[in-house]
Copies of this chain bind each other. A is one copy, B any other.
Amino acid sequence: MTINYASCRRGALAALLMALLSVQAISQEREIKTAVLYAPKLIAEMKQLHSAALSSDYAYIQLAHLCNNIGPRLSGSSQAQQAVQYVAAEMRRLGLDVRLEKVMVPHWVRGSETAELVQFVGQAPNTTQKIVLTALGGSVETPAEGLTTEVVVVDSFDQLASLGREKVAGKIVLFNARFDKQMAAQGYALDAYRLAVAYRGAGPSAAARLGAVASLVRSVGGADYRLPHTGGFGYAGDAPRIPAAAVTTEDADLIAYLAAQGPVRLHLTLTPRTLPDTESYNVIADLKGSEHPEQVIIVSGHLDSWDLGTGALDDGAGVAIAMQTAQLIKRLGLRPKRTIRVIAWMNEENGLMGGRMYAESHKAEIANHIAAIESDLGAGHPVGFSAHINAKGFEMLQPIATMLESYGAGIIRQSQNAEGADISPLDAAGVPTLAPIQDHRTYFNYHHTAADTLDKIVPGELAENAALVAVLAYAIANLQEALPR
């Protein structure tokens, strides 16, 4: 910015005065609005909640139990059922009104998963090279003895298409698109993820349409520790169902390097099984509102995780943060005017059946759902919150951001999409959705891997998230006027 000081000294002074007056005017106007919407008692209680959250280890203790004592919580597993019972019991212990709402979920079980390069240029006699990979959730199996064929490496769907059936049929396709680490490091990790995950989601059927016998994807994530990232995908109706797995970034590089020198043949064995759908549950725990018990603010995370790690970041943290909201309000003897509903969603990872079922079965009461909050991007330091809400609602939330400023969490962002996968069906039905804006620069290093474990949680940052979500939920529950649709 360049300013011509010589020609505008006086003008600048006048403009500065105007600006100061204008800021003062806005500030006064805001104070009036704040006072109308947010009673002084509410502001005081929000501060009390925030402070209590920062000095509490409740969320961390809950998360440690979910991760360490129960373990991975893939939908349909015994651990997922145990986690449902645990969260329900804990919410009952706090005095909430708890019910389990039935959800039929997929029950996919990982088997053995091995791969070795059995032919490549320069190979030492009688050797193979191990390829580290993991089946994608929902993959069908290879023959028990595995399959052996050549690998074709492509960087994009366009490149695959340009090869055509002739060069792809009977082979394994490796989609080698890179997760953009620089994008992630600059705070756009979710964007980097969205760009790369297309190959995990649509790759298997795209390869199968050209006759490929299996599909591999370069792991969608930022780690360089020979760590494969699993995840969900869908088989398209018009393509054969072929086995699908994610190789580590290192193994993708290795295969690409060798394939540039000559034919590379891989022996691939994946033995997952898809069992009949299983009965599971969303855990719903209500802290009833004193004035408008029928009006609901959801605060939530998803209880299921992938099976490789223990789902500390994805999304035990979200569940623990939601649990802490209720625990803090109870412990401080506060009572919200509207109902705060803690939900531990089931089956976010491979079906979204919990979120879908809820929106369906609560269709008649959707109009009374004032807002839905979900935390599902780890537990890194939050700098504020994001809301998919209309302009009036966004304006009404401003004082919460102002209150959070002194905690370094004063950013409020109006987004264009649902603020969480589980709450996206509610969002589609018009319910405002909100989420903390977390530091997720390293989130996709661990997400969907065996390394998503408790040590990745910084207790103080988890508490910061619990503080933010508790303040957000409690404030919305006590606004003088309900948030608009």
Binding site for B on A (CB under 8 A): 64-65, 68-72, 77-79, 81-83, 120-127, 129, 132, 223-227, 249-250, 253-254, 257-258, 261, 309-310, 445-446, 449-451, 453-456
Contacts and interface: CB of A to CB of B under 8 A. Distances in A.
Contacts of A453: 226, 250, 253-254
Given A250-B453, A253-B454, A455-B250, A129 B224 contact: no
Contacts of A450: 132, 226
A132 B134 CA distance: 15
B70 A124 contact: yes
5 contacts: A69-B120, A81-B124, A82-B125, A225-B225, A225-B445
A293 B79 CA distance: 71
A227 B224 contact: no
A125 B77 CA distance: 10
A127 B78 contact: yes
B455 A253 contact: yes
A442 B162 CA distance: 41
A251 to B, nearest CB: 9
A250 B126 contact: no
A261 B70 CA distance: 13
A313 to B, nearest CB: 12
Given A70-B124, A122-B69, A257-B64, A451 B78 contact: no
Contacts of A123: 69
B124 A71 contact: yes
> Copy number in this complex?
2
B65 A122 contact: yes
A451 B121 contact: no
Given A71-B127, A120-B69, A124-B71, A455 B78 contact: no
A81 B79 CA distance: 47
Contact of A78 (B65, B121, B126): B126
A226 B309 contact: yes
Contacts of A82: 124-125, 127
Nearest to A256: B68
Given A81-B124, A226-B449, A68 B258 contact: yes
Given A68-B254, A70-B124, A249-B455, 12 more contacts: A68-B257, A70-B122, A72-B129, A78-B124, A78-B126, A78-B127, A132-B450, A224-B456, A225-B449, A225-B451, A227-B451, A250-B453
Interface-centre pick from A132, A249, A455 (highest chain B CB count, 10 A): A455
Question: Top 5 closest A-B pairs, CB basis?
Answer: A69-B122, A225-B225, A82-B124, A226-B451, A226-B450
A254 to B, nearest CB: 6
B451 A224 contact: yes
A280 to B, nearest CB: 13
A81 B456 CA distance: 41
Contacts of A125: 78, 82
Nearest to A86: B122
Contacts of A223: 225
Contacts of A68: 122, 254, 257-258
Contacts of A124: 70-71, 77-79, 81-83
Nearest to A251: B453
A124 B82 CA distance: 6
Contacts of A254: 68, 310, 453-454
A455 B224 contact: yes
A71 B225 CA distance: 17
Contacts of A309: 226
A444 to B, nearest CB: 13
Contacts of A456: 224
Interface-centre pick from A64, A83, A453 (highest chain B CB count, 10 A): A453
Contact of A451 (B120, B127, B250): B250
A303 to B, nearest CB: 13
Contacts of A64: 257
A310 B226 CA distance: 11
A127 B79 contact: yes
